[in-house]
Amino acid sequence: MELDKLNSIYFLGIGGIGMSALARYFHNRGVRVSGYDKTSTPLTKALQQKGIDIHYDDNPQLIASSPDLVIYTPAVPRELKEYVYLEKLGIPVRKRAEVLGELSRNYQTIAVAGTHGKTTVSTLSAHILYQSSIQCKAFLGGISKNYDTNLLESEKAGWLVVEADEFDRSFLQLRPATAIITSMDADHLDIYNDHQTMKDNFSRFAGQVNSGGNLILKKGLDLPPPANVKVFNYALSEKADYFAENIALSGLFYSFDIHTPGGTIKNCRLGVPGLINVENAIAATASAQLAGATDDDIRKNLESFKGIKRRFDIRVHRDNMVYIDDYAHHPEEIRGLLYSLKDIFPGQKILGIFQPHLYSRTRDFAKAFSDSLSMLEEVILLPIYPAREKPIEGVDSAMLLNQIRSAKKYLVKKNQIPEILKNHDFDILLTIGAGDIDQLVEPIENYLLTHKQPVKQ
């Protein structure tokens, strides 16, 4: 199917972060875009404001007309009435990853993969190129705070930056000129069954880099290098092809020099906090430099980067209180977030509110979750957000709470949170998770901004 000749596309799960970027892309080209999602969110509302027709009832009668193509996300259940109806009509039905893979063939693609870090690295890589003379298009896995969107489109764009998602093996649809792999920690075992199978699929992804292209690996990853590809490694401060030197903290932000194979990029300063983000900046620098960005491009745009919503997202920053929201939903992501926080705010009392995401992930990594969450002085757990899954017997937040070693730990419902904050003492508040915990962010922010300081016990 020729994507540039479509007149109408229907999206099942249009509110997903990857789906909504595709919807924007086709809408911008004059394609009639419409779709379904189970709930209204800021993402769907933003699409509706652009004139895209969206409904929230699983009702085939609400589908306006027979589309040329249906794009769906694997998170949509196959028994969905609209999915069954559209498939019976004989309309072509394609996964989001397939369509993204086909679009990417028209560009030199930078594809960023990894069980964590890929959204920040891809967004920062795109920002550097977008603001340089090279320019790019980008399908992002989060909302860039520089542009308030998950889709970037330069008029001159030979380069495309995409997040390469390992869920459902989606990243195997891509044939990048440059690939980055940030991490390969065990995850999505509901898809891969075991860690080795997941790593084998990362190897397959690396093997799909175009001949003569580039593979950028976090140093230490156990991945055999593919043939006919230039391989570079990166690290935070350990010696590698790309690494940071002279790292210094000033307030919330870090300055550093970046060692590269071609020399040192001096006097860099990153516009978002966190040592984990300095490491992400090293990976982004490698991809941007290999695409032709100059040292000045990199230096200037590392500093101008404002970050991504729900990634180390500082919502309130006062002398006596900080509130940060983060999408972390894997034990290693939580660990990296907390190490970064403790480096910036040593000795501060941190209260974390965590919503586990998926029954299977909670079951598979219960010990690792309890270890990382035990780094907090005080933990509040919400019930598990099921997403696409049905409950698993014996797996719930109470099971996880029992394993957490923090002296103060609680299990509460989401609607209890604003009231509970009145009686808790903290210097730093975190909301953590990939489910609908984001619905708490504005109420918490509004509460904190209308109270001069948290209640001291």
Q: pLDDT (tens digit, 0 to 9) for every residue of the chain, 457 residues total?
A: 689 899 999 999 999 999 999 999 999 999 999 999 998 988 999 999 999 999 999 999 999 888 999 999 988 888 999 999 999 999 999 999 999 999 999 999 999 999 989 999 999 999 999 999 999 999 999 999 999 999 999 988 799 999 998 888 899 999 999 999 999 987 887 788 899 999 999 999 999 999 999 999 999 998 998 999 999 999 999 999 999 999 999 989 999 999 999 999 999 999 999 999 999 999 999 999 999 999 999 999 999 999 999 999 999 998 888 999 999 999 999 999 999 999 999 999 999 999 999 999 999 999 999 999 999 999 999 999 998 889 999 999 999 999 999 999 999 999 899 888 888 889 999 999 999 999 999 999 988 888 745 444 3
Question: Which of the four CATH numbers 3.20.20.140, 3.40.50.720, 3.40.630.30, 3.30.70.380 does domain 3-95 have?
Answer: 3.40.50.720
- Quick one: angle between helices 366-373 and 331-344, nearest 10? 10
Contact present, 378 and 394 (Cβ < 8 Å) = no
Query: For 5-54, how does the pLDDT look when each residue is reduced to its tens digit (9 = 90+)?
Result: 999 999 999 999 999 999 999 999 999 999 999 989 889 999 999 999 99
Specify whether the CB–CB gap between 330 and 352 falls below 8 A: no
Q: Decide which of 3.40.50.2300, 3.40.50.300, 3.40.50.10600, 3.90.190.20 is the CATH code for 313-449.
A: 3.90.190.20
Tokens standing for residue 163: 């997040």
User: Could you say which architecture CATH assigns to the domain 107-304?
Assistant: 3-Layer(aba) Sandwich (3.40)
The pair of structure tokens assigned to 372 is: 């990382």
- Distance between CA 154 and CA 131 in Å, rounded? 9
